[in-house]
Structures are given as structure tokens and as C-alpha cells.
């Protein structure tokens, strides 16, 4: 086989350019035919065309399609960095483990049911919802929710981190986006665009405004041409940055909020259970004082408490509060913020004694500082 033909084959495969890859395959086949290697040429043709045929028959029915996620989903690459533009993820996160308000859970379950019954809906000319936008502050479960949907549907997730795709060189972004959409369009797959605002954020850079418009246009075109076998999920912390034209493309938008008191109670108990900590703690009190924490921070708190239990063989509610205050004052850095938190916790019923212990000062010093802070 000629080295240059093999080189073409490898480069087009690595950059994910399907049409160039097809040309390279057929050039190789022609060359082998010319040289009289007819059986080899026939085998190459058969190998390529069989794969193409199975790719062009997307099905909602995963098992009927003989779905082989790892072998089918070949991620395209950025032309310059040669980095893969997405990663294929097979999630094992259960929807039951995502703690959300009932209405949001119901909306997600409805989407999952529509996707599961996509074939039946199609027979009635009904398109299942297949574009979901997840919004909300950091650490509230957007990525986790997308993964849980993947698990519930038994589908692989093409996980695209848009900041990576955009950062290198904006001129290349439209091409990259097109490659991503092209490579999934014939598959039964979830296309997950995480950090979706990365595109919109580039607006701040006025030098690149023209290019950005082209990127948004490419995105809109790809959204509009996206086949129903692809379930698109996008996640963002900065939904206000998104172009209204992009917003309109989604069938369903869910804004994940910080967990409320009842959800914090579930999360604290759930993780303590998972860490096999059976000490009886005042979860009501803990959920009350941890207002403002996101799911990720609650997990961090629970983990630190569990470590303390494993090392000291005991854990009280006071110990968890101590860890909470230490973590919070460490985040805030400023003295005033720390006093605000301590004063607030005191108002919520945490004793001055446990607060003093947490920050490592005497009861009377803390009493003095709180009074000063409150202007009493
Ligand atoms: N609602 C929730 N239910 C259960 N666990 C949660 C929830 N929210 C956050 N967590 C925990 O916090 C971790 C981080 O959450 P996740 O990465 O999904 O947040 P995110 O909203 O995508 O954040 P970011 O905007 O920073 O990407 C999860 O893996 C999970 O352990
Ligand atoms: Mg995330």
C-alpha cells in the first residue's frame, strides 16, 4: 500500500472529516485494484461500506440497531491541537440520586419517557422532546442530571466541553461545531454541550464579534438540522448570556436552584448513609444552618465529617457545625464575612460555645466580637 494513501487515511480519520476519509478509502481501493489486488480491494470496500450502511440507519431502538457505542462513536478532533472534540461517557448515575424539586423531576421523567417511546411517537407523527437546557448556579447538579438522563436511557453521552472547543482559535470553532454535529447525526446518542455559555462569553471580546456571529449562526443551523435520534442537552451557569435565538431552540428549560432546607436534609442523610456513618445527628438543625450551600458543598461537608468520624470514632452535631464553620470561613477569607456567618448561625440557634470552639477562640472573646459586630 502506498504510504501517502495511508497517511491521508490516518489524518482524515484523526481530524474527523468523514468526506475526506471516504475519499482516502476509495483512493486506496482504486490503487489496490489497479495493482491487481482485487480480493484485498473488495475486502476494503466491504469493510467501509458495511460500516457506512449501519451508520446511516439510526434507530431509536438501541438494541435493534445493534448498538456498539464505543466502536461507533469516533470523536472528531481539533485540526490544530488534534484533541478530541468530545469524550464518550457511559454513565451509571441514577436519576433517583439527583435531589431536585418534584416538578423538575417530573419534567425530566417526561422527557425520558418521550425518548424511550420515540419510535412509537414518530409513528403518530409526533416528535419527542429532544432539546433540554439546564441552567442554574454552579454545583447544583446540571452535569449530574445530564449523566443521569444518559443512564436512564442507556445511551452513550458525547460530552463536549465548549470552553475547550472555543478557546483555541475562534475561527476554527464553527468548523469544530460542525464536525461535532456531523459525527453524531447518524447515531442514537446524547450530545451534551457543557459550559454552553462559553460561546456567548466571547462577546466581551469585540475583536472577535464578527467571528462570534458566524459561530452562533453555525450553532443555530446545526440545531435546526439536528435529527431526532440525537438528544441534545446543554448546561450553563450564565443563561442570561445566551442569545434569545438559541433559547428558543430548546423544548425544555430547567433551572436548578440551590437546594432548599428539605433537600439539604435529604442530601446530608443520603451521603452520611453512603459513608456508612450511623451516628445520630440533628439533621434538622444541620439542614437549617447550611442555607446557601450547593449540592457539591454539602457533599464536601459530609465527606469531611465522615473523615472525622473514621479518625476519631465519634461524631456529634457540634463537630459537623465546627467543620461547616471552618469550611465557610476558609472560603470567605474576610473577617466581616466570618462574623456575619457566625452571628447568623447564633441567630439560628447554634450556641456561642460551639461557635467559639469552631473558630478556636474563647467563649468570652467571641461574645465580645459578636456584640461589636452587631453594634450592641
Ligand atoms: N441536586 C443534587 N442532587 C444530588 N447531588 C448533587 C446535586 N447537586 C450537586 N450534587 C453533587 O455535587 C456534585 C457536582 O454537581 P454538578 O457537577 O452536577 O454541578 P453543576 O451544576 O454541573 O456545576 P457547574 O456549574 O460547576 O458545572 C455532583 O456530582 C453531586 O455529588
Ligand atoms: Mg457542570
CA of 74 to the centre of ligand 1 (A): 28
Name the closest-CA residue to atom 31, ligand 1: 296
Q: Which atom of ligand 1 is nearest to the CA of 99?
A: 3
> Rounded to whole angstroms, how far apart are CA atoms 358 and 351?
11
150 CB contacts (<8 Å, ≥6 apart)? 89, 90, 91, 93, 156, 157, 190, 192
The answer to whether the CB of 94 is under 6 A from ligand 1 is no
pLDDT at res. 55:
53
Atom of ligand 1 nearest to the CA of 195: 27
Query: What's the pTM?
Result: 0.76
Identify the pLDDT of residue 265: 97
Q: Which residues contact 201 (CB under 8 A, 6 or more apart)?
A: 238, 241
Total residues found in the chain within this entry = 376
| Pocket test residue of 137, 149, 296 for ligand 1, highest count of atoms within 8 A of CB | 296
CA 92 – ligand 1 centroid, Å: 15
Using the CB atoms, write b or e for 169-196: b if 16+ within 10 Å: ebebbbebbebbbbbbbbbbbbbbbbbb
Supply the pLDDT for residue 168: 60
CB 230 within 8 A of CB 185: yes
* DSSP structural state of residue 235: E
Taking the centre of ligand 2 as the mean of its atom positions, its distance from the CA of residue 265, in whole angstroms, is: 22
Q: Are strands 87-89 and 157-161 parallel, antiparallel or unpaired?
A: antiparallel
Contact 238, 258 (CB under 8 A): no
Distance of CA 142 to CAs 3, 56, 181, 248, Å? 47, 32, 21, 20
Which class does domain 69-255 fall in? Answer: alpha beta
CB count within 10 Å of CB 46 equals 10
Positive or negative: CA dihedral 264, 266, 269, 272: negative
Torsion of CA 141, 143, 144, 146, to 10 degrees: 120
Q: Which ligand is nearest to the CA of 270?
A: 1
Question: Over the chain (376 residues), what is each successive 10-residue block's mean pLDDT?
Answer: 81 75 82 79 77 53 37 70 85 95 96 95 93 95 97 96 72 86 93 86 63 83 91 91 85 94 96 90 93 94 95 91 84 69 86 81 85 86
Residues forming CATH 3.40.50.300 domain(s) in the chain: 69-255
Q: Which of 138, 141, 271 to mutate to test the pocket of ligand 1 (most atoms within 8 A of CB)?
A: 141
Closest atom, ligand 1, to C-alpha of 141: 18
Amino acid at each position: 500500500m502506498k504510504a501517502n494513501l495511508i497517511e491521508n487515511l490516518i489524518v482524515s480519520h484523526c481530524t474527523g472529516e468523514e468526506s475526506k476519509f471516504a475519499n482516502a478509502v476509495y483512493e486506496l481501493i482504486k490503487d489496490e485494484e489497479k495493482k491487481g489486488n482485487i480480493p484485498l480491494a473488495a475486502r476494503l470496500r466491504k469493510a467501509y461500506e458495511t460500516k457506512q450502511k449501519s451508520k446511516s440507519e439510526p434507530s431509536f431502538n438501541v438494541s435493534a440497531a445493534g448498538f456498539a457505542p464505543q466502536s461507533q462513536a469516533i470523536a472528531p478532533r481539533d485540526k490544530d491541537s488534534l484533541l478530541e472534540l468530545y469524550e464518550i461517557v457511559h454513565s451509571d448515575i441514577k436519576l433517583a440520586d439527583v435531589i431536585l424539586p418534584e416538578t423538575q423531576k417530573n419534567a425530566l421523567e417526561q422527557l425520558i419517557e418521550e425518548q424511550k417511546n420515540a419510535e412509537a411517537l414518530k409513528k403518530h407523527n409526533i416528535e419527542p422532546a429532544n432539546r433540554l437546557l439546564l441552567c442554574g448556579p454552579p454545583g447544583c447538579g446540571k452535569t449530574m442530571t445530564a449523566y443521569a438522563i444518559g443512564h436512564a436511557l442507556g445511551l452513550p453521552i458525547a460530552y463536549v466541553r465548549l470552553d475547550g472547543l472555543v478557546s483555541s482559535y475562534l475561527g476554527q470553532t464553527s468548523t469544530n461545531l460542525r464536525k461535532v454535529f456531523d459525527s453524531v447525526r447518524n447515531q442514537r446518542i446524547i450530545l451534551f454541550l457543557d459550559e454552553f455559555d462559553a460561546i456567548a462569553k466571547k462577546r466581551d471580546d469585540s475583536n472577535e464579534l464578527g467571528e462570534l456571529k458566524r459561530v452562533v449562526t453555525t450553532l443555530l443551523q446545526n440545531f435546526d438540522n439536528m435529527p431526532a435520534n440525537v438528544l441534545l442537552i446543554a448546561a450553563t451557569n450564565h443563561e442570561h448570556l445566551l442569545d434569545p435565538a438559541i433559547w428558543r431552540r430548546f423544548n425544555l428549560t430547567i433551572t436548578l436552584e440551590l437546594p432548599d432546607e428539605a433537600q439539604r436534609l435529604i442530601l446530608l442523610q443520603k451521603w452520611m448513609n453512603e459513608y456508612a456513618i450511623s451516628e445520630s445527628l440533628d439533621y434538622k438543625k444541620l439542614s437549617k444552618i447550611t442555607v446557601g450551600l450547593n449540592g457539591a458543598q454539602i457533599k464536601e461537608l459530609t465527606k469531611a465529617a465522615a473523615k472525622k468520624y473514621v479518625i476519631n470514632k465519634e461524631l456529634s452535631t457540634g463537630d459537623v457545625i465546627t467543620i461547616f464553620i471552618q469550611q465557610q470561613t476558609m472560603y470567605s477569607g474576610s473577617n466581616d464575612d466570618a462574623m456575619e456567618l457566625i452571628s447568623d448561625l447564633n441567630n439560628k440557634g447554634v450556641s456561642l460555645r460551639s461557635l467559639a470552639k469552631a473558630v478556636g477562640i474563647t467563649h468570652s472573646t467571641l461574645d465580645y466580637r459578636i456584640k461589636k459586630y452587631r453594634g450592641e
